[in-house]
């Protein structure tokens, strides 16, 4: 009996021992599996963090794109959901390129196979690099959401040169933050989003070095090609790195490229780029010259008359604001505009029906108006070609003994105007420092128009005759403020700029009243135009053509120049028309034509719109991407540019293409070869 119990107890003990041993083995196996899984989880946490954090930036860029469209919806009047989807998909290519450029340092720091970096301090450092770099890019996208309304395109690298001499940008930027507070809040939200959602890789205190180095080296080698392909915008040896012009393949209108692109990409892709690449549309110069030449030869047996010339470039004075130039804009002639003085002056002046700027920024306006140089690719005097020898109204008339001077009420050097004016024959420059009374400073940009134009009239009475002068006004500029004494007279209207237009129109009235009492007035030709357009509330002025509509007005007190001509005119026509009117007897270079001598059917206009050349002639506007025509519109009757006639039988199309190609090639060749004057 005793033996039985002993055997029974031994069996029970063995059973529990076996069970315990089995449990111990299972636990050990589970622990081993857990340790292996944890090690792999630690290893794979880095690529997972890479993917998640890059995805966060993609989401941010796409939200910025949608906000851009929402803020600027009035500029994209025929935008459908399907087309927006198509452009957004195309935009991913440009987003990828920008995101890879922005985050390449962070990716290298994250993946570099060095086990000493696996610590919390290092991870915090690279997290801050990620946050700062991407928030700067997001901020640039949000800033362009507002700036697009003034530039008509995504900002490029030229912006750093454009505003290099301005000392008031902080104030202007502050005003816009207040006006667009919701974008400022969105920027803060983006920062919170990236901070909270950022995924930090797990740090293994004691990584197995062999496994660590093999895995991370392979990972870095695997990721590198994708970064390069992303930067280039495609895979394959035959894929050229994408540029901003590639955005045109996703859009119906050039302005829509701003939806496809993002601001960091536009800046990256234009840094250090040579703006003037010579095409080879024409094999020899003689053939090109036969189609188009910018060299103007003097007319035979025309006597030169030494009249004074005063060119008034009125900031942001789009043609839309002038009632006398828009009699058909609203039904039954109801539209009156915002310029009663200019309306009255136009009745005694010479104007044209279809008048265009050659650019969309202030720095585009002066070369076009004073030198007959259109803006192609980049603003002319932000390029190396600005150091070329140049013709200009001032430099040509100095050869005839004219005194020349230029006026701008901002700080001397602002916008590069002083340097440009000197290069085209206006050595005497009068700015804010010369006015010397900051009681009349508008607090943002310049001396108020009323006071500065009175000063302009007084100074001209001190100049020897004949003289040629130019003035660039400033008060109708963003941020759209007027003197306190006028706020009850010119209250807020449909758009913030409208009150400024009324104020500047009145300043022009007071200027002409004073000028009329001066001894030089009766012997003077006045030219009035704008540098570019601005805010619009009519769809006709939101199209690819309408965004370039500016007034061009020639006025002489003796009434010699009067009438309204049913033809095309542009800013680059001003110089040859002025010199032609005076009977100038020497050859010069300008890309426009003499409107007083050129038949109406032969006048034209040209501009460069987000990578697309636009050429107006006769009844048509042709859009050309540098290689082929992408659209043609009957712009005079199809004022909203709804009906693309490409592919239909337009007899003028071939001729327009050949002429535009000759203009482009002449421009590029002469810019690169420093042939902008006649030797």
The candidate with the shortest Cα–Cα distance to 534, out of 572, 573, 504, 489, is 504
DSSP string for residues in 487-520: TTTS---SSHHHHHHHHHHHHHHHHHHHHTTSTT
Q: What is the pLDDT of residues 343-384, one digit of tens each?
A: 999 999 999 999 999 998 888 899 999 999 999 988 876 676
What per-residue confidence (pLDDT) applies to 555? 98
Under DSSP, is residue 565 helix (H, G, I), strand (E, B) or coil? strand
What per-residue confidence (pLDDT) applies to 160? 60
Residue 35 pLDDT exceeds 50: no
Under DSSP, is residue 607 helix (H, G, I), strand (E, B) or coil? strand
Regarding predicted confidence, which is higher, 197 or 385?
Answer: 197
Distance CA 414, CA 18 (A): 91
Distance CA 75, CA 544 (A): 10
Residue 19: pLDDT band by 50, 70, 90 thresholds? low
Residue 29 pLDDT exceeds 50: no
Residue 36 pLDDT exceeds 70: no
Determine which of 9-13, 221-225, 459-463, 541-545 has the lowest per-residue pLDDT on average.
9-13
What per-residue confidence (pLDDT) applies to 244? 75
Q: Which domains does the chain have, with CATH numbers?
A: 30-268 (no CATH), 313-673 (3.40.720.10)
| pLDDT average, residue stretch 130-139 | 95
Residue 319 pLDDT exceeds 50: yes
| pLDDT average, residue stretch 80-92 | 89
Determine which of 12-21, 121-130, 173-182, 468-477 has the lowest per-residue pLDDT on average.
12-21
What per-residue confidence (pLDDT) applies to 34? 43
Residue 37 pLDDT exceeds 50: no
**612-617: strand order across its sheet:** 604-609, 612-617, 620-624, 629-633
What per-residue confidence (pLDDT) applies to 205? 58
Residue 5 pLDDT exceeds 70: no
What per-residue confidence (pLDDT) applies to 202? 73
What per-residue confidence (pLDDT) applies to 161? 56
What per-residue confidence (pLDDT) applies to 33? 44
Q: How many CB atoms lie within 10 A of CB 202?
A: 16
Tokens of 297: 């030869």
Under DSSP, is residue 511 helix (H, G, I), strand (E, B) or coil? helix
**467-472: strand order across its sheet:** 428-430, 403-408, 467-472, 308-314, 524-530, 552-555, 350-356, 563-570
Tokens of 553: 């007005």
| pLDDT average, residue stretch 674-678 | 88
What per-residue confidence (pLDDT) applies to 272? 64
What mean pLDDT value characterizes the chain?
87
Residue 239 pLDDT exceeds 60: no
422, 431 contact by CB (below 8 A):
no
Distance CA 54, CA 129 (A): 13
Q: What is the pLDDT of residues 261-271, one digit of tens each?
A: 999 988 887 77
Q: What is the pLDDT of residues 47-72, one digit of tens each?
A: 888 899 999 999 999 999 999 999 98
Distance CA 322, CA 342 (A): 7
Residue 631: pLDDT band by 50, 70, 90 thresholds? very high
431, 414 contact by CB (below 8 A):
yes
| pLDDT average, residue stretch 211-239 | 78
Tell me, rounded to whole angstroms, the distance of Cα 152 from its chain centroid: 5
Regarding predicted confidence, which is higher, 207 or 24?
Answer: 207
Residue 296 pLDDT exceeds 60: yes
| pLDDT average, residue stretch 405-431 | 88
What per-residue confidence (pLDDT) applies to 237? 47
What per-residue confidence (pLDDT) applies to 386? 72
| pLDDT average, residue stretch 26-38 | 47
Regarding predicted confidence, which is higher, 31 or 480?
Answer: 480
What per-residue confidence (pLDDT) applies to 2? 53
Q: What is the pLDDT of residues 583-599, one digit of tens each?
A: 999 999 999 999 999 99
What per-residue confidence (pLDDT) applies to 266? 84
What per-residue confidence (pLDDT) applies to 238? 42
Regarding predicted confidence, which is higher, 332 or 36?
Answer: 332
The candidate with the shortest Cα–Cα distance to 63, out of 86, 91, 83, 82, is 91
Q: What is the pLDDT of residues 516-535, one digit of tens each?
A: 999 999 999 999 999 999 99
Angle between helices 81-111 and 209-232 (to 10 degrees): 140
| pLDDT average, residue stretch 463-478 | 94
What per-residue confidence (pLDDT) applies to 167? 62
Residue 418: pLDDT band by 50, 70, 90 thresholds? confident
Determine which of 106-120, 314-328, 644-658 has the lowest per-residue pLDDT on average.
106-120
């Amino acid at each position: 009996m005793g033996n039985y119990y002993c055997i029974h107890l031994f069996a029970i003990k063995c059973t529990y021992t076996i069970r315990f041993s089995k449990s111990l083995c299972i636990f050990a196996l589970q622990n081993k599996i857990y340790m292996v899984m944890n090690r792999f989880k630690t290893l794979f946490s880095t690529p997972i963090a890479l993917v998640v954090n890059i995805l966060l930036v993609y989401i941010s860029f796409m939200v910025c794109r949608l906000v851009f469209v929402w803020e600027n919806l009035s500029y994209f009047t025929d935008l459908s959901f399907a087309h927006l989807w198509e452009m957004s998909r195309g935009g991913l290519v440009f987003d990828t390129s920008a995101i890879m450029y922005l985050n390449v340092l962070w990716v290298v720091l994250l993946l570099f196979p060095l086990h000493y970096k696996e610590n919390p301090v290092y991870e915090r450092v690279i997290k801050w690099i990620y946050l700062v770099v991407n928030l700067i890019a997001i901020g640039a996208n949000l800033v362009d959401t507002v700036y697009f309304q003034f530039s008509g395109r995504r900002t490029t690298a030229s912006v750093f040169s454009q505003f290099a001499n301005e000392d008031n940008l902080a104030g202007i930027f502050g005003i816009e933050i207040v006006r667009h507070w919701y974008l400022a809040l969105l920027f803060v939200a983006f920062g919170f989003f990236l901070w909270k959602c950022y995924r930090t890789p797990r740090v293994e205190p004691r990584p197995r070095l062999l496994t660590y180095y093999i895995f991370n080296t392979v990972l870095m080698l695997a990721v590198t090609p994708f970064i390069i392909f992303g930067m280039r915008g495609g895979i394959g040896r035959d894929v050229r790195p994408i540029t901003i012009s590639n955005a045109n393949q996703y859009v119906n209108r050039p302005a829509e490229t701003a939806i496809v692109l993002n601001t960091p990409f536009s800046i990256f892709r234009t840094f250090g780029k040579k703006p003037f690449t010579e095409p080879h549309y024409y094999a020899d110069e003689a053939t090109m010259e036969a189609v188009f030449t910018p060299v103007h030869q003097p007319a035979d047996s025309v006597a030169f008359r030494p009249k004074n010339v005063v060119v008034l470039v009125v900031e942001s004075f789009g043609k839309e604001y002038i009632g006398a130039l828009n009699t058909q804009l609203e039904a039954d002639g109801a539209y009156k505009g915002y310029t009663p003085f200019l309306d009255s002056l136009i009745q005694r002046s010479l104007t044209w029906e279809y008048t265009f700027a050659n650019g969309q920024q202030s720095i585009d306006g002066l070369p076009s108006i004073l030198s007959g140089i259109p803006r192609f690719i980049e603003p002319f005097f932000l390029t190396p070609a600005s150091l070329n020898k140049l013709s200009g109204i001032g430099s040509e008339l100095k050869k005839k003994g004219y005194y020349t001077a230029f006026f701008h009420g901002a700080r001397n050097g602002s916008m590069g105007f002083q340097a440009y004016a000197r290069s085209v024959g206006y050595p005497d420059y009068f700015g804010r420092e010369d006015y010397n009374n900051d009681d009349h400073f508008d607090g943002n940009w310049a001396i108020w128009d009323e006071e500065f134009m009175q000063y302009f009239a007084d100074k001209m009475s001190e100049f020897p005759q004949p003289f040629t002068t130019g003035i660039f006004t400033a008060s109708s500029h963003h941020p759209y403020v007027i003197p306190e004494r006028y706020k009850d007279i010119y209250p807020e209207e449909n758009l913030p700029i409208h009150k400024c237009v009324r104020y500047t129109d009145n300043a022009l009235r007071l200027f002409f009243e004073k000028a009329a009492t001066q001894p030089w007035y009766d012997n003077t030709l006045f030219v009035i135009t704008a540098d570019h357009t601005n805010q619009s509330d009519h769809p006709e002025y939101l199209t690819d053509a309408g965004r370039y509509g500016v007034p061009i007005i020639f006025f002489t007190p003796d009434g010699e120049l009067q009438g309204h001509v049913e033809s095309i005119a542009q800013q680059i026509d001003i110089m040859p028309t002025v010199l032609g009117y005076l009977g100038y007897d020497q050859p010069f270079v300008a890309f426009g034509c003499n409107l007083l001598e050129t038949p109406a059917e032969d006048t034209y206009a040209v501009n460069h719109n987000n990578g697309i050349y636009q050429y107006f002639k006769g009844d048509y506007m042709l859009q050309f991407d540098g290689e082929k025509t992408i659209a043609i519109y009957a712009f005079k009757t199809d004022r909203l540019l709804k009906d693309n006639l490409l592919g239909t039988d337009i007899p003028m199309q071939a001729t327009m293409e050949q002429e535009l190609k000759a203009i482009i090639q002449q421009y590029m060749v002469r810019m690169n070869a420093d042939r902008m004057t006649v030797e």
